């Protein structure tokens, strides 16, 4: 995942709306593919996006959802088998 040396990290771009985030990511992908649009490069992009989505879900979204479930109760209690 994005575990790169601090010297190579850039300051964040101002992102206010989901469209801003989408545009920023698109620009990075365009820059990565530009000049070398072949299967390997395109496959790299899909792999990175998939892995990033999975890692973001695992590290950020799932813990957030777990805390919300603890705070508000589980809406699936009735159908989840309890062991």
Confidence check: pLDDT of 44 > 60? yes
Instruction: Give the residue, 1 or 55, on which the prediction is more confident.
Output: 55
- The end-to-end CA distance of the chain, in Å, is 34
CA 80 to chain centre: 28
Half-sphere exposure of 25 (CA within 13 A, CB side): 12
Residue 38, helix vs strand vs coil: coil
By residue count, the chain amounts to: 83
Identify the pLDDT of residue 74: 92
Q: Write the pLDDT tens digit of every residue in 58-82.
A: 999 999 999 999 999 999 988 887 6
Contact status, residue 53 vs residue 69, Cβ threshold 8 Å: no
């Amino acid at each position: 995942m994005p575990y790169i040396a601090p010297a190579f990290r850039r300051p964040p771009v101002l992102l206010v709306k989901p469209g801003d985030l989408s545009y920023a990511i698109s620009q990075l992908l365009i820059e990565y593919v530009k000049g070398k649009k072949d299967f390997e490069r395109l496959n790299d992009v899909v792999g990175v996006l998939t892995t990033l989505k999975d890692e973001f879900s695992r590290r950020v979204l799932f813990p957030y959802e777990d805390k919300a479930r603890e705070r508000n109760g589980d809406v699936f209690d009735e159908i989840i088998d309890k062991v």
